[in-house]
Amino acid sequence: MKQLIRKILKEETEQYNTPVLTILKTLYPNFNKDNASIKKSSSQMGNDVILYDDPETGYPFCSYWIDDRELVLTRELFETFDSYLNMDTWTDDLLNWFNNEFNKDAEYVTF
């Protein structure tokens, strides 16, 4: 399965600009501004957080902590990127994509 995904990533990367975008479009097609279920909430500590969920499954993709400018990925999403891409490069590409896609100003990626 990993071999097939790597092959798709290699073939699709030229078409979609970055490997991060290729993974998102291939494995997480609902994680975008047009499809994701987006909800704003507050934590028990009073910090504002925006939740991004898959509308088909109800499972979360990530949360964005506004005050901390932190993008918190689900373990599955983090491990997907980490297993296919070099950690030194995918976090910057993901932040750039996320900030552009959702008009945010995240500075950090965690899980």
More confident residue, 75 or 2: 75
What pLDDT does residue 41 have?
Answer: 86
Where b means 16+ CB within 10 Å and e means fewer, 44-74 reads eeeeebbbbbbeeeeebbbbbbeeeebbbbb
Q: Break the chain into its structural domains and give their ranges.
A: 2-110
> pLDDT (tens digit, 9 = 90+) per residue, 25-82?
999 999 999 999 999 988 777 678 999 999 999 999 999 999 999 999 999 999 999 8
Contact 9, 23 (CB under 8 A): yes
